[in-house]
Amino acid sequence: MTTRHPSLRFSRPARLSRLSRLCGIALLCAATAVGCGMPQTPPLTPTGGAVAAKGTDILLLGTDSRATISAQERRKFHAGGFACNCADVMMLVHVSARLDRVSVISLPRDSLATIPAYKPTPTAKRRLAHPAKLNGAYAEGGPGLVERTVEAATGVSVEQYLQLDFRRFIDAVDQVGGAEVCTARRLKDSKTKLNLAPGRHLLKGGQSLQYVRSRHVDQSADLGRIQRQQRFLVTALERLTARKVLSDPVVMGRVARTLLGPAKVQQGFGKNGVKALVTLGKALSKVPATRTEFATVPIGGFNPPMKGVGSTIRWDAAKSKAMFTKVREDRPLIAAGSDPKPADPPVFGKDVPVRGNRLACP
């Protein structure tokens, strides 16, 4: 595995228990980070500053690169278009200290953020902190800079990031026999050519890629895509559990190797990544959907267009601060006894955290 440059890491203990949590959540969330992990990233000089959280926090990244699938696959699954080398999918995942609860918070790619000051190379001139769309941090400095930008925006100390590409996503879904999704209404996307009638559908890897990438189904746009990614994640975990993939060390080992990818892709899981993922798979299978939570960072509206940045989303300052405070304190996002239902399609500015069972197939 490629060694990450020291300047990309903060001073955090590399304990096997934490590595296990990272690998466990890598399995849980692989279905949503459907971008291409950049093999090499420029060294960055971290500034730190985020408050350490209880439990474990992982940033899931997916970029818009099409480089890891063939031209035939790009045509077949309508994955063409212009790639800006941006982080198209960003999710902050919190695993509770007791490994009995998982909270997933999606971060809209067009969110206004401040990219911290950094050096593109050790000898380069320091670039000052500046405003940008959240997804643009990847193009500037790779996953390390995205990690620091998210820390600055949320106040949560990110322990690790996971980046997956189209190839590993397709292969992993096919490896476990496909993924089941369900919809109460027709889902038809003009760009990805997704066209699903109401009901249940068993999708192969390429079809699953179309499902989680679709954002032209209705007026909910990217928020609708985020919700479908979350639904896919819940049903994928249920299918893995039902097929006993998580508890079979042989099958789980093959899936783990597929998810972690080739050595040139920086994941930071160390030499024991596959072993830890297999071990945690069994424990993760015991976490019911009612103990998982899914949310989008609270949105307050749109910012005025900025020169060099464009139109951006404004987070609701008070609500987002309250949400990330719960993450840092290892508290659930949803109050005990509460069971909110998701709107389908989601309504801009009115999204609320929901339990995983609310996103599962009925």
Residue 178 lies in a domain: no
What's the mean pLDDT in 322-349? 95
Residue 350 lies in a domain: yes
Residue 46 lies in a domain: yes
| HSE-CB of 68 using CA atoms within 13 angstroms | 23
The separation between the first and the last C-alpha atoms of the chain, rounded to the nearest angstrom, is 41
Residue 203 lies in a domain: no
Rounded CA-CA distance 88/189 in Å is 18
pLDDT digits (tens, 9 = 90+) for 104-136: 999 999 999 999 999 988 899 999 999 999 999
Domain tally for the chain? 1
What are the tokens at 121?
A: 């190379």
In this predicted structure, the answer to whether residue 7 has a pLDDT above a threshold of 60 is: no
Residue 314 lies in a domain: yes
Q: How many CB atoms lie within 10 A of CB 22?
A: 26
Residue 43 lies in a domain: yes
Confidence tier at 50 by pLDDT (50, 70, 90): low
In this predicted structure, the answer to whether residue 61 has a pLDDT above a threshold of 90 is: no
Lowest pLDDT segment from 3-12, 169-178, 214-223: 3-12
Residue 307 lies in a domain: yes
Domain, as residue range, for 85: 6-166+244-358
Are the C-beta atoms of 31 and 133 separated by less than 8 Å? no
Residue 238 lies in a domain: no
Tell me the whole-structure pTM to 2 decimals. Answer: 0.84
In this predicted structure, the answer to whether residue 1 has a pLDDT above a threshold of 60 is: no
The CATH number of residue 144's host domain is: 3.30.420.590
